[in-house]
Amino acid sequence: MNVIERFEQIVTKENVLENESMKSHTTFQAGGDARLFVMPRNEEETAKVISICRESHVDWMILGHGSNLLVSDAGYDGVVIWLKKYMNGCRTVGNEVIAQAGAMMPTVAREAWKNGLGGLEFASGIPGTVGGGLAMNAGAYGGEMRQVVKEALVLTKEGTLRTVTNEELQLTYRHSAVQSEHWIVLQVTFSLQKKDPDDIKARMDDYNGRRREKQPLEYGSAGSTFKRPEGYFAGKLIEDAGLKGYRIGDAQVSEKHAGFVINRANATASEIWRVCCHVKKTVKEKFGVDLEMEVKTVGSFDKISEG
């Protein structure tokens, strides 16, 4: 029995796709195909799929909304495990919201608001899943995951299920133990506070209004392309370097917010990558500051272009 047949036994045939385009699974709307694309329906299936990948020595990766990902034009010669289709539920128990890894952050923020629970307003416009948000300690407008996460159910690299606390998650700026320990997030429990739903909604509306006003939401992107360097703001450095509007093909430094590299229409992953590399090189030359990409890359990119 080959790998595909083993996957089909676990998740059913319709949930195993071959040569699936990643353009429709990433917010950059660019990139090639994934050799295999598997959609587990629960935690147990996820663990079994990963176990098969390990036993078969096949490369694999977890995918949520693809909002922090740039996949190369050559695609990914491995197995993409997509949690968003089925593992996207969330529910409220007392002052806690319990969300599966594939639940979208805005969905969880709305769940909290409808139940009069404050603390997740910052997440109402973050275009990613709970699993990805926890892995990178996502944040906006002064709020971060580390402020509201109580615990998470993860699958360890040894293949065991484990509940880890906020402290054990070691949540810091755009980083967590999920990354360093190679854990797979399956579920997150948020500990929140009772609050007037009208106040929660007003804050969410304010944040989302500011987001629409300042960010190029009309184009494909992965949000903030670069991490904030200590003592600086990436967007200001890029703007001061004269790079607003810098363009290769349909990939461009946004004219609205220089911290965003956007896909104007039909940019290739290579064009996006080359724009990012030029930004890094120019900012380093002008200001002596090393910009680190917040966006994760998958597949093969031209290393010479990194500058």
Q: Which residues form the catalytic set?
A: 174, 224, 294
The rounded distance, in Å, linking the Cα atoms of 133 and 123 is 9
The 3-state DSSP composition of the chain as helix, strand, coil percent (nearest 5) reads 35, 25, 40
Q: Which residue has the tokens 């402020």?
A: 147
Rounded to 10 degrees, the C-alpha dihedral 107/112/118/123 comes to -10
CA-nearest of 254, 250, 284 to 270 is: 250
The residues, any chain, with a CB within 8 Å of residue 21's CB and separated by 6 or more, are 31, 32, 33
Q: Which helix (H) or strand (E) holds 166?
A: helix 166-169
Are residues 15 and 38 in contact, defined by beta-carbon separation less than 8 angstroms? Answer: yes
**Spatial distance between the Cα atoms of 22 and 29, rounded to a whole number of angstroms:** 8
> Taken in order 184, 136, 167, 190, is the CA torsion positive or negative?
negative
